[in-house]
Structure formats: structure tokens, C-alpha cells
Amino acid sequence: MGPTTGHILWTKPWAVGGVAGGDNGGTEQTGSYWGTSQYEPKWEPIVIDGILYATQITTTSGYNNGIVATNLYNGQTMWVLNTTNALLWGYAPDYHSINQYGVVGPYILTSGTLPPADTGGSKPANSGTQYNLYDGLTGKYVASIVNGSSNLFTTVDANGNIVGYLKNSTYGIAKSNVVTLHPEPGITVHQNITGPSLEAWNLTMALGEGSGSGQWSISLNHVYLWNDGLMWSNPSIPLTINGNAISLSAGGLGVGQIASNVIVLTAGYGASSVGDTAGWAIEAGFSQTNGALLWGPFNRTYTPYTRISENFVELAGDGVYVDCNENTFVTTGYSLFTGSQLWQITLTGPNGTPPNSYDEYGIQNVLDSTTGIMYLWGLGGDIWALNMATGAIVWQTSTLILQGSPESETPYGIWPIWVQYGGNMAGGNNILYLSEGHEYDPPLFHGAQMLALNGTNGQLIWKELAFEDTAAENSYNIMTALNAYDNQVYAYGQGPSRTTISVPSPITTLGSKVMIEGRVTDVSAGAAQQLVASNFPNGLPCVSDASMSGLMEAAYEQQPMPHNSTGVPVTLSVLDSNNNYRVIGTTTSNALGDYGFAWTPDIAGNYTVYATFAGTGAYYSSSASTFFYAGTPAPTAAPTATPLSGIATQATLEYLGIAIIIVIIIIGAVLALLVTRKHP
């Protein structure tokens, strides 16, 4: 699952960003900090058990400020590991034995040499790559693995074990007795191989936890041997095709795929420094279980000196692997089981027009394994969704369609999409997240957005101001990304809310209205941050999902407050003195978070009144209650007749008699007149 709105949970300074002041110029053109660092990424997080681990790079990848462990839910720093070693993996295997079962860890691993103090006073002997294991909860050093390989192509198996595959072309396997962590029928264990071989390595085995001892037991400060993690080695890699020498390999730029229990090794990709092919590429498929050759090698023909997608490795799943030529836009699907071609299409722009010319500088991709849909996008802003099995285009769009023309804002005439390590797909709710931006000289163009697209139809779900040149990370329904506009980490997701309620006049009477008032506010960790809290002293209001991005940009990114924000629905209910619970109405808070509702009590006695906010895509639900009393009004006394005095009575009778005499005289005159008219 991923965030369905642009609601921000918290932000965290990661490097200095924005415009420098003072003697540094103070303008976007001459005084901007180096915010975009696409080729020296500052943000490559790993998330395990709600803890976010990342190497903090503030200026350049030439040095770092250690590894920071952050609480994913509130942005608070848990600990800092003061090391210059690079963060490599997160590790939380599911360990089952006769005496113990369940997930162990979490651990993190770095690559690089440790100082003597971290290994109990003596440096371990190491002639290859060294991996260092740390406790993920505390950051404490645990142990090291030495004499490893730096050319591993790693995956995570169903039990959470880190498994790496590599081509060993120098000495074959150096272990005299290879065992498998989970023995499978038909596996042949090859020993003392002298030629090139395909090898599989398991981190859990290297730590001595695959031998069936019955308990997870890693010794503090112990130095483990990398070779003890080798599961199998198979001399199955062909060295020639049609009599010509080839050098198949796994790992590296545009090389190797693992899916559907098949490993694809390749040769011929990346013939130049920018990854161009020389017009051909060799591919062969091997069993992930034992390294046996399944098919190939096959020679694939391409237009000479064109480039195959750098993220070729990610285009595999459901028995299919895909390559996409970034210059010709020819995209081809092959069977993982046989290597045969299944389909081929040429990508076009919207309405059949040619793709944007900037797309040729890079096609990136991500696969939603839950739907079998592959998403491709280019630097030029074109976006495609393809059915992995058939190659049929499900939908296509572009940033020009989604956001309109940038006019002269960007130097490309479009909104470019190009981030390190691709995009982000939330399979649980089928949302594709893409970031606009690209590395180039200042000033950064204005208006770049984080885009959230419906994976089914390509429609825009939400967008929010963000210039990001490294892919966002999505874990536990929270997405984190580094925003180059200010070099802060932004966490997007559903957050807590607070509802309050009060009755200004808690004592009333039946027939009189009572005013029920309250507020609905955002109480995510970011709402308490100094800048946000100072700008919203009465609390950051909860607003509708449709109004979310505008408010978040105002609260966290120094943008103007929107004038058309709408609030959230609040349901009012009462429990009366007869113990009857009922809804009395609904209302909607305003843009400041306030709501009010007038109601006339219909039963005398004590009332408990409840206000409930059911929650939205941005906020969890919240509720509150208070009390008031409705009393019975005092009865009104019946009016009584006032007796007339004797004088008043006599005068009244006299006036009444005079009135009667006058009426009789008038009637008589009328009768006389009528008689006269009858006898002319």
C-alpha cells in the first residue's frame, strides 16, 4: 500500500538546501545549494520493522556522516552509527528449527574495513570484500564476514535470507564441501572446480546458522568466512557461441535478471561508457536452484550503438523478461523458461506520435508483480503501462497531459522524469509514484511535482511540489523521499487526527437550541515541528483529500495558503437520559479546522454528545465527547379575570343603554324611508 494523498507526516533535514544567503549571493542562479545530486545520490534508505536506515550524505559521496536510524512514523532519530562504511543490506531472516522459530534481527550490513576497536581489538584478516553486521535496534557492532566478493547479484528468498549469485572465473569454488541451506531434489554439488562457474551464496549460511544447530547464535566480534555461505557452484557457463568466445556474467550495468526461478546471464551490454551495445548481446538462462544451463546462449541483434535500458534487471517476472531499446524504443518480451521471443512492440507517444526526443536519454521501469503490468517512462515525460505477458499497451500518458505545459520554466519544454534507481510502485493499492526533476545547472525549475498515478488507467490521483532525483521508498504504507528543493526527507502517509468538542452553554432547557462546537486538527509529528507549529498556533487543520496538497505545500514548503480549502465531515451523536444513542446530524469543518452545529434537545435530562471524524485517505479517525443538561421549562401561570368596581360597572351600563337607543333610532329611520319610497 502507498499514500493515497500528499499528506506529509514529517520532514527531516538531511543536507543543506535552498538558497544560500549572506555573501553567497542569495539568488537561485548564483546562490543555490547543490540540491540535485542524481549522480551522487544522498538518499538510499532501507526500511525494516518501521525503522528507516540511511547513510547521511550532506555534500558529496566522497564522505558521509554515518548511518542514521530513524523512526519511520515520527521522523525521530533513534541512533547514529559513526562509520564511513557504506550501508549495504537490511537483514531479518525467518529462522525455523526444532528449538527456535520466527524472524530474527533486524540487522544491517555495511561493506568496508572496520577500525580495530569495533572488532574486539584486532582487525580481521581480509583479502576480499568485508561485510559488517550490526544490531538494527541499537546500532551495536556484532560480527564481520571476510574474503567476500564485490560482484554479487543479490536477491532475498522467501525466508528473508540474502542470496547472491556471481560468476567466478578465476578460481572456481574454494570450499571443499558445499552444502545447501534448503536441499532440493536433483541438485548436484560440484567440488574443487578449477574453471569458471556460476555460484550461489547465502548470508545465513555464512554466519553459521544453516547447519541445523537448532538456535540462532551469532558470536559477538566473531569473524566469519565468506566461503562458508556458498550453497552451490556449477561449471555450466558456456564460453563460446558459434565458435566465438563470450564472457557471460551476472551483476553490473544492465546485466542479469532473476525471476521465476531462472537466472539470466548476459554479455555485450554496456560496450561503451554510456551503456551502448555494439549491435548484439548474448543471453543464457540458468536454474536458480542449482545453476544448470536451461537455454541458450542466444545472440540478440540490436541497432548498433544504441542503448538497452539500464534497469534491464528489473524487467522480469511471471515467466517473462523484457528489454527496451532507449534509442529506437523497440521493446521485446522473451520467455524466461526457453529464451524464445514472445512479443515485440515499438513504443510511441500519446495518440501515436513519436516519443519525446528526450526519452532517448533514458527509459526507466518498474514491475507490479501483483498485476503483471510493467511501467516504463522516459526523461521526456512519456509514461507507458504494458501487459508483461503479451506486450499490449494498457495505457499511456505524459507529464504534459497530466500537468500541462511548463512553458519556459524548464529547458526541455516538458516536465522531465529522471530519478536514480527508478520509480516506486505500491502494489497493494496499485499506485505508481514518479518524481519530476533532473540534474542540471541552476536554477532548479519551479513547479516540479511528485506524481501519484492510478496504475490501472494512468489517471492522476494526487500531485505535490517536489523536485526529487532519487526514487522514493515505500514501506508500511509510508513513502519517504528526498526533496531537492530544500534537501529534506519528506514522509507521506496517513496520520493521526484530533477531534475536540464543547458546548458553550452546558445547561439549557427543552425547546432551546444548544450550540455544539469543536475542531479537527492534524497531530502528525510534523504538525509539532517548529516552523509548522509557529505558522499554525491553533493547530494544523485537517482538510479534505482534495485540498491536501495545497495545505501541505503551505505548511511545509513556504508556499501561499490556498483560498479554496475545504474541511472534513464530522458526525454528531447523543446519548440521552433514557440511554438512547442516536445520530443528530453531520457538519463539515472549515479550512481552519473549526466546526459548529446547533441542535434542539427533545428529551429532558443529561446528555452525552459525541463528535466523530471517520477519517480520510490522509487521516486516521478520531472522536471526542462532552456533556450538557436540558431541563424542563417552568410552567406559565393561567391568566385570571379582574372584577369590575361598582362605579365602573354603573358607568358601563349607562353607556351601553345609550348605544342601544341610538341603534333603535337608526333602524326606525331606515324603515320610514323604505315606506315613503313605496307610495310616490
The answer as to whether 447 is a domain residue is no
618 and 558, same structural domain? yes
- Of 212-216, 227-231, 287-291, 549-553, where does the model show the most confidence? 549-553
Residues 654 and 559 in one domain: no
Q: What is the DSSP-derived secondary structure letter of residue 361? A: G
In degrees and rounded to multiples of 5, residue 136 shows phi and psi of: -70, -20
Q: What angle do CA 68, 69, 73 make, to 5 degrees?
A: 130
- Indicate left, alpha or beta for 182 from its phi (over 0: left) and psi (-120 to 50: alpha): beta
> Is 108 contained in some domain?
no
Clarify whether residues 583 and 668 are in a common domain. Answer: no
Q: What is the pLDDT of residues 637-671, one digit of tens each?
A: 666 655 555 444 454 444 444 444 444 444 444 33
Alpha-carbon distance of 142 to 487, in angstroms, equals 32
Burial 218-239 (b: 16+ CB within 10 A, else e): eeeebbbbbbbbbbbbbebbee
Of the CA atoms within 13 Å of residue 117, those in its CB half-sphere come to 3
> Residue 647 has what pLDDT?
45
| CA nearest neighbour of 2 among 494, 592, 557, 394 | 494
The total number of residues shown for the chain amounts to 680
Is residue 502 one of the residues assigned to a domain? yes
Report the pLDDT averaged over residues 177-194: 46
Distance between CA atoms of residues 673 and 679, nearest Å: 11
Question: The pTM is what?
Answer: 0.86
- Give the model's pLDDT for residue 604: 94
Decide which of 352 and 649 is more confident: 352
370 lies in a domain?
A: no
Q: How confident is the model at residue 178 (pLDDT cuts 50, 70, 90)?
A: very low
Output the domain CATH number for residue 606: 2.60.40.1930
* Helix/strand/coil (H/E/C) assignment for every residue in 552-608: HHHHHCCCCCCCCCCCCEEEEEEECCCCCEEEEEEEECCCCCEEEEEECCCCCEEEE
Asked if 104 contacts 95 with a C-beta cutoff of 8 angstroms, the reply is yes
pLDDT average, residue stretch 59-77: 89
Domains contained in the chain, number: 2
- C-alpha distances (whole Å) from 646 to each of 649, 651, 653 are 5, 9, 11
Residues 587 and 677 both lie in one domain: no
Which of the given ranges, 37-51, 400-414, 491-505, has the highest pLDDT on average?
491-505
Domain that residue 607 falls in = 497-631
Amino acid in the structure at residue 584: I
* In a shared domain, residues 587 and 525: yes
Integer Cα distance of 40 and 62 in angstroms: 9
User: Using one digit for the tens of pLDDT, what is the confidence trace for 298-335?
Assistant: 998 888 878 876 555 457 778 898 888 888 999 999 99
Looking at residue 489, what is its pLDDT?
95
164 DSSP β-pair partners: 154, 201
Q: Percentage of the chain surpassing pLDDT 90?
A: 45
Q: Which residue has the higher pLDDT, 247 or 415?
A: 415
Q: In this model, does residue 439 exceed pLDDT 90? A: no
Is residue 587 in some structural domain?
yes
620 and 562 housed in the same domain? yes
Percent of the chain exceeding pLDDT 70 equals 82
102 with 93: CB under 8 angstroms? Answer: no
Would residue 297 count as lying in a domain? Answer: no
The one-character DSSP state at 43 is -
To which H or E segment does residue 264 belong?
A: strand 262-267
The verdict on 546 and 622 lying in the same domain is yes
262 in a structural domain: no
The arithmetic mean of pLDDT across residues 241-250, rounded, is 79
663 & 584 share domain = no
172 located within any domain: no
Do 501 and 627 sit in the same domain of this protein? yes
Taken in order 525, 531, 534, 536, is the CA torsion positive or negative?
negative
The contacts of residue 464 (CB under 8 Å, 6+ apart) are 6, 449, 450, 492, 549, 552, 553
**Interatomic CA distance for residues 178 and 230, integer angstroms:** 7
Judge if 622 and 504 occupy the same domain. yes
CA 552-556-557 angle, to 5 degrees, is 100
Is the pLDDT at 188 greater than 60? The verdict is no
Residues 514, 550: one domain?
yes
The four Cα atoms 13, 17, 23, 24 give a dihedral, to 10 degrees, of 150
Contacts 24+ apart (CB under 8 A), 104-107: 104/216, 105/48, 105/136, 106/48, 106/49, 106/51, 106/136, 106/137, 107/133, 107/134, 107/135, 107/136, 107/142
Sign of the alpha-carbon dihedral angle for 247, 250, 251, 252: positive
pLDDT digits (tens, 9 = 90+) for 534-586: 999 999 999 999 999 999 999 999 999 999 999 999 999 999 999 999 999 99
Would you give the DSSP letter of residue 634? P
pLDDT higher than 70, residue 370: yes
The runs of H, that is alpha helices, within 209-321 are none
Confidence bin at 410 (pLDDT 50/70/90): confident
C-alpha cell at 503: 458546548
Residue spans of beta strands (DSSP E) within 36-188: 46-48, 51-55, 67-71, 77-81, 86-91, 94-96, 101-103, 107-111, 129-135, 141-148, 153-156, 162-168
- Residues 610 and 661 occupy one common structural domain: no
Based on the number of CB atoms within 10 Å of its own CB, is 652 exposed (0-12), middle (13-18) or buried (19 or more)? exposed
